[in-house]
Amino acid sequence: MNNYNLTSLSNGILVVSEFIPYVKSFSLGFWYNTGSRDENINNNGISHFIEHMLFKGTQRRTAKQISDEIESIGGYLNAFTSKENTCYYGRGLSENFKKTFTILSDMIQNPLFKEHHINKESGVVVDELFDIEDNPEELIFDKFEETIFEGNTLSFPIIGTEQNISKFNSSNLHKFHQTRYRSRNLVIAVSGFVQHDEVVKLADKYFNIAKSFSNGDRKTFSSSIPKDVTVDKDIQQVHCIIGRPAYGYNNTNRIKLSVLSTLLGEGSSSRLFQAVREKMGMTYQINSFLNSYLDVSAFGIYYSTNERHADKVNKIVFRELNKLKAAEVKQKELKRVKEYIKGNTLLSLESTTNRMIRMATSILNYGRLIPVEEMMQRIESVTAGDIIETANKMFDESELSRIIIRSKDNSIKKAA
């Protein structure tokens, strides 16, 4: 932990950094603890839309100047919005860190939100929305979380709705930005050949945003009613997710479920991959997943197959779930799963961007910087007994929702 530093500035901004002496580059991220979870039915999609608009220029720089200034020094800028966070990040050579920091801080704090920019970008974002609608592999995950998180703002899609996107204007964008982009809502994370003191000095110099902020208006997820949902689309394959709400970052049982999920359906050695694809040849895609938020996760099993195999694949999935509930996992298999998780985690840390993301998400989700060694110990501590206990808690068929996207023609035939 000697290369990690964390400083809380007087205005509430948290600065976390990791000095890596053997690289010549950096990854810098500005993380705001705000996302689609902090929206309402009338402005759903505004966090993602603001992410787009912050690249459209400031009083000092046009959109073209922002990209030219970064790309002319071999750098890279991008951003993403999730349900709980919005991140603006840059990569580059260490000697260009100050310039990258300056440009990003200007973008974030001084957006123009000009009406003609908004009108043009709304068309771009609506096209992005239609791309999701046309892609069942993406759409089904939105429909899944819409179903299992019903009654909570976590059910909202990140991109929003066409109706909302088309009515965003300078006034409501400025208001949301001023409300959510506050200093107590910001984590600045840096990984690479950059000294912590330099990051702190730049943050003190370039950030003058208001101090007061609270995310207290976030409604904690409680529960929802399991249900089956079918969506008709003009497609060839059947796409399905079977799953439920699960443990969030604030629950110590989440790591047990993460190990269980990996054993069940992550990687080509997993039980579902072997049972459905390798032995039966019934699907190209099948995997389990755990999308986690602070107080809840979305656990599920996703697969796509053709119509004639859909019922059979569904039966095999539940057969594998019941096996995990009834029989203890052998130590050899459990060891393989743990090594798979640890190996993937450590390999991901060869990227400064992944290291930066890990630090920021650790602060945002756990309130502290969790060492990699501690995470490895948590994984290693999961027992075969934990797996069977977790499986029995999570795999009650009456508690599972099923989301299906299939051809309308096939749905009619099946009903007949």
* Domain segments of the chain as ranges: 4-206, 228-415
Topology (CATH) of 228-415: Cytochrome Bc1 Complex; Chain A, domain 1 (3.30.830)
pLDDT band at 413 (very low <50, low <70, confident <90, very high): very low
Query: Taking a C-beta distance cutoff of 8 angstroms, is the pair 99, 44 a contact?
Result: no
- φ and ψ at residue 91, rounded to 5 degrees: -130, 150
Is the distance from CB of 368 to CB of 115 less than 8 angstroms? no
**pLDDT more than 70, % of the chain:** 96
**What pLDDT is recorded for position 412?**
42
The model's pLDDT over 69-94, given as tens digits with 9 standing for 90+, comes to 999 999 999 999 999 999 999 999 99
As a whole number, mean pLDDT of residues 148-168 equals 98
Query: DSSP code of 218?
Result: P
**What was the pLDDT predicted at 2?**
61
List, in sequence order, the alpha helices (H) in 181-247. Answer: 196-206
pLDDT category, 306, cuts 50, 70, 90?
A: very high
Query: Is residue 415's pLDDT more than 50?
Result: no
Model pTM score: 0.94
324-346 mean pLDDT:
96
Burial of residue 72 (number of CB atoms within 10 Å: 0-12, 13-18, 19+) = exposed
Residue 56 pairs in a beta bridge with: none
Residue 212's pLDDT is 54
pLDDT: which is higher, 356 or 224: 356
Lowest mean pLDDT among 149-163, 207-221, 395-409: 207-221
26 membership: H or E segment, kind and range: strand 25-32
4-206: in CATH 3.20.10.10: no
**Cβ atoms of residues 271 and 279 within 8 Å:** no
| 3-class DSSP string for 256-295 | HHHHHHHHHHCCCCCHHHHHHHHCCCCCCEEEEEEEECCC
Strands 25-32 and 186-192, bridge-based pairing: antiparallel
Q: Do domains 4-206 and 228-415 have the same CATH topology?
A: yes
Residue 113 has pLDDT above 60, yes or no: yes
Check: CB of residue 353 under 8 Å from CB of residue 27.
yes
Summarised one tens digit per residue, pLDDT across range 252-290 is: 999 999 999 999 999 999 999 999 999 999 999 999 999
Over residues 205-249, the pLDDT tens digits come to 999 765 555 555 789 999 899 999 999 999 999 999 999 999 999
**Spatial CA neighbour of 82 closest among 108, 51, 121:** 51
User: 154-163, 183-192, 217-226: lowest mean pLDDT where?
Assistant: 217-226
Q: Which residues are catalytic?
A: 51
**Tell me, what's the pLDDT at 63?**
96
pLDDT at 1: 47
Residue 147, pLDDT above cutoff 60: yes
The whole-number pLDDT of residue 318 equals 97
pLDDT class for 409, splitting at 50, 70, 90? confident
